[in-house]
Structure 1
Amino acid sequence: MPDGTELIVTRSPPVNSNGVITLTNRHLPQLKWQESLLIARPVNQFRDFFPEVNNQNLTEIAIEIKETYNDYLKSARSLEDLKNRHPELREPYIEVTSAKSQRTIYLTRLDRFGTLESVFFSQDKQFPVDLQLVNNKIDREIPNSLLAVATLDLEGKSVEQPIGAIALSSVEEYNLKAGINM
């Protein structure tokens, strides 16, 4: 340019070469990406990296890491099994075990009844509660036929509060009916 200004080209020139970058860019849209899965590997394959570990402290740390990993893996598998047996449990749920029969049922749809915000049920510990199974006459939008109604003691008064719907898989598994107390 005669006045000293620079010319900027915004269009890339056509490339007819077969360089590595050109070929990669040409085939990149055709690649199909796959999800990487977590696969448990035997610890023996890593022994060659650490031929001699005579430090007891490192050995204890390694054992603790291995046990923690195995615990996480077991809990992930048990959650996967639970999800396969009870497909409704993808949303928040409460696990209830009967003191009499030791049966475990699952309560779902907790958000519909305010159970998620409740002080009683927001704790992460076990506590006794009296439950009665009743027919669903409260919320017709819920496909579950049975609801769990808890009898709570609030300041000396006995209050009945619906807390959730009985999971359909629990109803089928134990042949639950309205009127059962747990």
Structure 2
Amino acid sequence: MRWIIMIILKELKLGISEKTVFSVFHPDAEDLFNVTCDLKLVCERLCDRTQRYKRQDIEVGKAVGPQLASRVGSVEEAWKKLRGKEVVVDCKFDGDRIQVHKNGNDIHFFSRTFIEHSEYKEAIADTLCQNILLEKCILDGEMLVWDRLTNRFAEFGSNQEIAKAAKDGLDTGQQLCCILT
């Protein structure tokens, strides 16, 4: 039970990883957690270790574990790891990492720690629905604030404030901006 609580709190400081705990709990636990990010669901569906669980696809509307980059010591080391593969490089903005889940006109926003940010809906969901042509998709990116007066991104940390202002119908000269990659 202690391990499960530490996984939820993301403070697994026992000298073992969540992969170890998942493998002891059930052989399919890590796979299911990676596509659902829902520990409760993993415990409910995989309570019998002898029953194998059919691999599940990612679902729109349920947070997905983001792919994270690995740290390397130099540019040369990074190129060696890529072994000549083609790469796409995008700019790193100073915003909040966000997953946008679109299913028709239903939009959900999830942080990289799987927290749903419904406060963004009022400020930007309609714009995303109009501009994302796919009916159903999951997109990864960053949520920032664009300052229309200075024509540049605002300082980090103002997303919540601008989302609340938009919900209250206030025009601050700033707006939420979602950079999708």
**Shorter-chain TM-score: which interval?**
under 0.3
Higher gyration radius (CA): 1
